[in-house]
Amino acid sequence: MKYIITFIKKHPKLFNYFFCLIISLIALLITSKNSILYQFNEWVDANAFFTVGKSMMNGLVPYKDLFEQKGPLLYLIYGIGYLISHNTFHGVFILETIFFSVFLYWCSKCITLFLPRKYCYVILPIYTFAITTASSFIHGGSAEELCLPFLAITLYYFLKHFEIKELSLKELFICGICAGLVLLIKYNILGFWIGFMFVIELYYLLHKNFKKIIFTTLFFLLGMLLPFSVSLIYFGINHAINQFLYVYFYININLYSGIYYFSLFRKLENFVFLFVINGGIGYIILSIYIFIKKINFKKYTELGILIMYLSTIIFIFCGKISFKYYILPTFIFILVLFIKILLLLQKWFNTQKIESIIALSILILPIGCYFFANYRNDLYKTKNDFPQYKYAEIINSKDDPTLVNMGSYDAGLYTISGLLPTTYFFQTQVNGFKYDEFPDNIDAFDNYIDTEKTMFILYNTRSSISDVKIMHENLFVHYDLIEADTYYTEGLKYNMFLFMRKESTNIQSPNIS
């Protein structure tokens, strides 16, 4: 311990980088299903991202050649992961770990604005444990998780602006770049930056500094425009700007998740539930308490954090649908809660042996992650638990196989088989659209069946084979059912049926009623 302390004192920044990387690696190895400790990440979203990213690396263009609605930067990240590992999520895991370590590094910079550096080694392990075992931390590699570094960078500059020194135009430009990158991953998280700029501009308005209002807005928007311009260049070169704008913005805003449209009451009910289970109430109560007591933070900091928090929440929940992982970005504010707690307890900590507290905090991380990991039972699954592996062997035994995924979002067979989609709609956007508003997805699959577009069809569903026959009678006219199996994901049982074009079939169909 003595040598470690000496090294920390001599190389604080280097140790900080290393510490954040190790903490990220320990936590994500246990809690992210992209890690080598898990046999497979069967989450349909991750597989869809991977399929589109893989396709990008092989010359296909999102929105033009493939239909999917997340942001292009998310696909690029998964595409780079594919280049590292073609048929697993191990490459994605490396990037996920790097993103999370960058997130923690900027969190440490936030902490050192208020506390000595040693407190980072107390807060960060516990904070990491809290995030990676939260109910909103889904499977690993979610869009929300990959946005965390950009939230932390902006939070640091926000705190610095009100606590230390006003932001320079260069720093506002950096915050704008962060917002622009998030715009290209999942834009409903942009409420954080709307709140950020509102508070900054309100500060200058109250001080009647109108010149600052103009220049800060200009430099922030220029920063935001930079990554967006790069994406427009990419889509422009590939003659796909219209498709990009139409699918990513128009369809997402106006049509997607229409089947889930919630009433205002249901939205409020969902919001309160997610708010409570993720510690939001605790944060607000403590924030109000400290604000009234007027201790620790300057008044603009405290008020600004609350405005940014509410802006983030409102923007996330203003859409038609809400899932529990949507609230993960709000965990950036829990960091402020940790800082406040340590500020309140600082006198007590000064009377204790800090090395022992740090050691205890680090010890909590792997033990806590293991016992509270959302998918701990999946650590013990083998290839036999995933029909995708068996089906991939069948598919790859054929010459020039082609595949389409029906019945659900991408169930992972593209990933394990290594195949690229050959159809625009490569997955059924189950429950994503009202048929009368966007029939294209469903109609396309009827056409794929009738024209025998692909050699194989994977039908992944919670329905029985009898129900599938009723829904898609033409499927059994053109294709033979050659394999059927079941698997479990998120506690639900799924039936996975593999169909093969009749003219290609030389396998006896399984006996399934």
Question: Helix-strand-coil percent breakdown of the chain, rounded to 5?
Answer: 65, 5, 30
pTM of the model: 0.92
Contact present, 257 and 432 (Cβ < 8 Å): yes
Distance CA 499, CA 458 (A): 6
* Alpha helices for 58-183 (secondary structure H): 72-84, 90-111, 120-132, 143-146, 148-163, 169-183
Helix (H) or strand (E) holding 493: strand 492-501
- HSE-CB of 97 using CA atoms within 13 angstroms: 25
Share of the chain above pLDDT 90, in %: 67
**Residue 298 banded pLDDT, cuts 50, 70, 90:** confident
Q: Does domain 383-504 have CATH number 3.30.479?
A: no
Domain span(s) for CATH 3.40.190 in the chain: 383-504
Which three-class secondary structure state does DSSP give residue 450? helix
How confident is the model over 428-447, as a mean pLDDT? 83
Average pLDDT score, the chain: 88
Task: Choose among 453, 451, 409: nearest CA to 428.
Answer: 409
Contact present, 79 and 53 (Cβ < 8 Å): yes
Lowest mean pLDDT across 183-197, 400-414, 495-509: 495-509
How confident is the model over 369-377, as a mean pLDDT? 94
DSSP 8-class letter at 421: P
Distance CA 392, CA 413 (A): 7
